[in-house]
């Protein structure tokens, strides 16, 4: 299922829901991440304070993938991508 996220507080709510859906407590998730429970609480309440690297660690621990979807209208063939050659190279 997709969970659109537009603001940091939404991310925290989704992370909390995903953790609970997996039957994990904050303490159990903290052990998986090698942090203390209060850090997991902070990640859920203020996700904007965690690094991108920590976000990926958290998503991995929850068995969740991050998907970036181009929200621009139009056929996908007309869109530039990082691997589309010279025009879209980053």
Helix (H) or strand (E) holding 18: helix 8-21
Coil, helix or strand at residue 47: helix
Q: What is the pLDDT of residue 82?
A: 60
Query: pLDDT (tens digit, 9 = 90+) per residue, 21-56?
Result: 999 999 999 999 999 999 999 999 999 999 999 999
Mean pLDDT calculated for residue range 52-69: 94
pLDDT of residue 55: 95
Q: Which range has the worst mean pLDDT, 2-6, 7-11, 29-33, 73-77?
A: 73-77
Angle, vertex CA 34, rays to CA 46 and CA 22, nearest 5: 70
> Looking at residues 68-82, what average pLDDT do you find?
69
Q: Which segments within 1-90 are labelled E, that is strand?
A: none
């Amino acid at each position: 299922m997709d969970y659109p996220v537009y603001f940091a507080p939404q991310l925290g709510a989704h992370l909390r829901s995903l953790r609970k859906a997996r039957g994990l407590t904050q303490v159990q998730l903290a052990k998986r991440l090698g942090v203390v429970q209060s850090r997991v609480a902070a990640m859920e309440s203020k996700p904007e304070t965690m690094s991108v690297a920590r976000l990926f660690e958290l998503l991995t621990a929850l068995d969740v993938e991050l998907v970036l979807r181009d929200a621009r209208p139009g056929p996908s063939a007309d869109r530039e991508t990082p691997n589309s050659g010279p025009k879209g190279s980053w």
